[in-house]
Amino acid sequence: MMMLSEIMDRVQAGMTKEEAAALLASQVEEIVGLGDSNREEATRLVLTNIGYFAGYYAPEIADRAYELFNTEHPIFGRTHPTPEEAFRLGMEYSKRRGAKLN
């Protein structure tokens, strides 16, 4: 299984859409091979993780990852919120998900 930082290194190095598709397919196959997920669940998991991790990068790099993998950040979508906005959006998300905040 490739680490998310390795995937983002490839995004930054100029990965093509075809390379991204092949990488996604291989990551999904590894997860399915573990026996706990079907292809749909594994694809959703990989894309969600890439989208989330891309949010830690500069907007232009995150946008490139979102485009290459046709994904987005699971909370922020394809936006690039300020820290204050990110905090607010995270709080709203947790409330919608029913998380208890103390």
Q: What is the pLDDT of residue 97?
A: 85
Q: Is 0.85 topped by the overall pTM?
A: yes
Rounded Cα distance between 11 and 62, Å, is 9
- pLDDT by residue for the chain (102 residues), tens only, comes to 999 999 999 999 999 999 999 999 999 999 999 998 999 999 999 999 999 999 999 999 999 999 999 999 999 999 999 999 999 999 999 898 886 655
Rounded Cα distance between 27 and 42, Å, is 8
DSSP code of 57?
S
Q: Which residues have a Cβ under 8 Å from the Cβ of 62 and sit 6 or more positions away?
A: 54, 55, 73, 80
Q: What is the pLDDT of residue 101?
A: 56
DSSP code of 73?
B
Q: What is the pLDDT of residue 102?
A: 53
